[in-house]
Structure 1
Amino acid sequence: MSAEPFDEHTITDLVADATAAPSLHNAQPWRFRYLRGLGVLRLYADLERTLPRTDPEKRGLHIGCGAALLNLRVAAAAAELAPEVRLLPDPADAEFLAEVRLRGTAHPDQALALLRPAIVRRHSSRHPFRDEGISAAVRERLHDAARAEGAHLLFPGAWHVQSILELVRDAEGSEALDAGIRGETEQWAHTEPSGTEGATDGIPAEAFGPAPRGGGTLVRDFAAGRPMPDRPWASFEKNPNIALLGTAYDEPSDWLCAGQALERVLLLATTDGLVASVISQPLEWPDLRWAARDPVSAMAHVQMVLRLGYGPEGHPSPRRPVDDVLDIV
């Protein structure tokens, strides 16, 4: 069927689902523009929401925008639309990340459509998970979800999980010595309650999770070095379920694909009753990122480390109003 204009309510709903995606420090670095006459929705990077010290190459920004793009595709499929996506359609405009042409269809992508209920349920959980493994069948489904988006997902062995834990410690040690990175974390991670008037982004105190007792956890401590007197303490799982998400190449288009794969894996994990948090600390330092690779696998570039398991759901983080991120022309 040919492209057709859609009413503003439909476009607003699609973008609302898109913006429920995860992003580095919940900066939500995206903008959307709907060209009514063409039936085209465009995704742009919002460069005012970059983290220049934490994410100097904007790899994390692209991954977050890719996750938003996947949510958009899921919402479109649930609305019986067939989105046609072009990544980086204008090489001269680095902010123009994707163009989505919306078409009605009698045969939407059912695999994507079935993930839509998970969009509002998916939240990063920084709580302890149960020391319980993930079945081979569930792992295979998650692997297939990443592969459907052109990425790879693998569950490393116990020795590699321990090496990832050591890399996290190294990264946290480097962060502690870098005032610029600490400043960015403090800008986006709020130790005050989320009820603060006007808070529409960043990570609220309720989403930090408990402080780790005894150290040795993979979960990023967003309150590190800042007092939170009422924050509880907890022991985290001894044998975490860790997955590496990666791509064959390492260009902006690969980062966008990795973001789509990340969100597809997270939505499927949510559907399967899992909770998750992402581990980006060692990937923010080039030497540590290289060391995160599994040397016995064919994965060339690790784009994200995931912690998966069974446990309490995370607290939702605030979202920017759709009116702030969407232009209709």
Structure 2
Amino acid sequence: MALRQLDEKTVTTLVAEATAAPSMHNAQPWRFRYVTAEQLLVLRGDPDRAMPSSDPDNRALHIGCGAALFNLRVAAAHTGLMPETRLLPEPRDPLLLATVRLTVPSGPPRDQDDLVRLQPAIRQRHTSRHPFADRDIPQEVLGALRDAAAQEGAALLLPGPWHTETVLDLVHDAESRDTMTSEAREDLERWTRLGPEADIAVDGVPEYAFGPRKRDGKAPQRDFAGRRPVADRGATAFEHTPHLALLSTPGDTAADWLRAGQALERVLLEATLADLATSLTSHPLESPDLRPLIRDPVSGRGHTQMVLRLGYGPRGPATPRRPVRDVLEIA
């Protein structure tokens, strides 16, 4: 492998692709530093964007940063670079999440085609909080999504009907808790953007991305408005048989969370290329007593890191992103 001097434009483009990743409440909890002499991109978690009420151990922060890391790997491969990634390289610095050395392959790049293929989906992928069609997803598509998770060391479980009902009940329980306790609403209200603020936001979930209120149906859908009024927001029926998928990892450490984030983004990009709309919910995973109940009741193995909703429908609007200059330092 050889180093190639990267210009500022290339580094900025790589980080812009990375930051198109999803994160809890679109808080974008990442910071990047490019060390020019070493051709090294350093990824750090941003504690100012942590969520002490709903994510006290920073699990969701790690997952969001892991998703950004995967996008960075895809963007680097698309540029002809070989990303050499290390997770948690300094145990005494827990918010130093990963380093990525960008090298030029000496020969034909190995195992890069699968990453390059996903690059167009980075900008096409959006979280959709709209109804999906009550339509089956082909088994070959579901198999490709399972394989995508496995490539990153995670598992994607497609629950059967009664397990799906259990997950939906747990989502409902989590929603009910939010309405009863002000602490549960603190993070959500901090990261939602209403009224004129939505038009100029660079982070958070703006009201135009809330989607309609659920009038009927069983889709797990967090209502970001809560009890707050949102102008011109109607209600509609959602699917009665939602297609859910549970992403899990064997362990539940910081490294597992980062792998889960990379697996999550690989699955989402694969789904986007297959013309699927996607949304995510971590709602019941934010409660220590509810989270273990979501895991596969048959095998009882693994730790659920995310609940995905898949289907055919509108992809939803793009949500805002911070300018790269606000998240990237070049040294």
Q: What TM-score bracket applies, with the shorter chain setting the length?
A: over 0.9
Give the Cα–Cα distance (whole angstroms) in 2 for the partners of residues 311 and 299 of structure 1: 32
Pair 1:318 & 2:320 matched: yes
Q: Return the match for 2:169 from 166, 171, 185.
A: 166
**Is this contact kept in 1: 2:217–2:240, CA < 8 A?**
no
* Structure 2: segments with no counterpart, 5+ residues: none
Structure 2 counterpart SS, 1:83: strand
Task: Give 1:201's aligned residue.
Answer: 203
User: How far did residue 45 of structure 1 move?
Assistant: 0.4
**Is this contact kept in 1: 2:66–2:257, CA < 8 A?**
yes
Task: Give 2:46's aligned residue.
Answer: 46
Bigger Cα displacement from structure 2, 136-145 vs 185-194: 185-194
**Residues 21-73 of structure 1: per-residue CA shift (max 9 Å, x gap):** 00000000000000000011000001000010010010000000000000000
Q: Would the alpha carbon gap of residues 244 and 267 (structure 1) be closer, same or farther in structure 2, given more than 3 Å must change?
A: same
Q: Return the match for 2:275 from 257, 273, 282.
A: 273
User: How far did residue 298 of structure 1 move?
Assistant: 5.7
The Cα RMSD (Å) is 1.2
User: How far did residue 2 of structure 1 move?
Assistant: 2.2
Q: Counterpart of 1:259 in structure 2: which amino acid?
A: G
Q: Counterpart of 1:92 in structure 2: which amino acid?
A: R
Task: Give 1:80's aligned residue.
Answer: 80
Bigger Cα displacement from structure 2, 188-197 vs 259-268: 188-197
Task: Give 2:109's aligned residue.
Answer: 107
Q: Counterpart of 1:171 in structure 2: which amino acid?
A: A
Flag as ranges the 4+ runs of structure 1 deviating above 4 A.
none
Q: Counterpart of 2:86 in structure 1: which amino acid?
A: R
Structure 1 counterpart SS, 2:290: helix
Structure 1 counterpart SS, 2:292: helix
TM-score by length of 2: 0.97
Give the Cα–Cα distance (whole angstroms) in 2 for the partners of residues 89 and 320 of structure 1: 26
Structure 2 counterpart SS, 1:102: strand
Structure 1 counterpart SS, 2:245: strand
> Percent identity at matched positions?
54
Q: Counterpart of 1:2 in structure 2: which amino acid?
A: A
Give the Cα–Cα distance (whole angstroms) in 2 for the partners of residues 134 and 218 of structure 1: 18
* Structure 1: segments with no counterpart, 5+ residues: none
**Is this contact kept in 1: 2:126–2:316, CA < 8 A?**
yes
Structure 2 counterpart SS, 1:170: helix
**Is this contact kept in 1: 2:149–2:263, CA < 8 A?**
yes
Q: Return the match for 2:142 from 121, 139, 142.
A: 139
Give the Cα–Cα distance (whole angstroms) in 2 for the partners of residues 167 and 298 of structure 1: 17
Give the Cα–Cα distance (whole angstroms) in 2 for the partners of residues 76 and 298 of structure 1: 37
**Residues 243-270 of structure 1: per-residue CA shift (max 9 Å, x gap):** 0000000000000000000000000000
Pair 1:125 & 2:128 matched: yes
**Is this contact kept in 2: 1:208–1:221, CA < 8 A?**
yes
**Is this contact kept in 2: 1:194–1:205, CA < 8 A?**
no
Task: Give 2:195's aligned residue.
Answer: 192
Bigger Cα displacement from structure 2, 127-136 vs 296-305: 296-305
User: How far did residue 193 of structure 1 move?
Assistant: 5.2
Q: Would the alpha carbon gap of residues 193 and 149 (structure 1) be closer, same or farther in structure 2, given more than 3 Å must change?
A: farther
Task: Give 2:156's aligned residue.
Answer: 153
User: How far did residue 177 of structure 1 move?
Assistant: 1.9
Give the Cα–Cα distance (whole angstroms) in 1 for the partners of residues 321 and 3 of structure 2: 30
User: How far did residue 5 of structure 1 move?
Assistant: 2.8
Pair 1:210 & 2:212 matched: yes
Q: Would the alpha carbon gap of residues 215 and 226 (structure 1) be closer, same or farther in structure 2, given more than 3 Å must change?
A: farther
Bigger Cα displacement from structure 2, 224-233 vs 310-319: 224-233
Q: Would the alpha carbon gap of residues 9 and 193 (structure 1) be closer, same or farther in structure 2, given more than 3 Å must change?
A: same
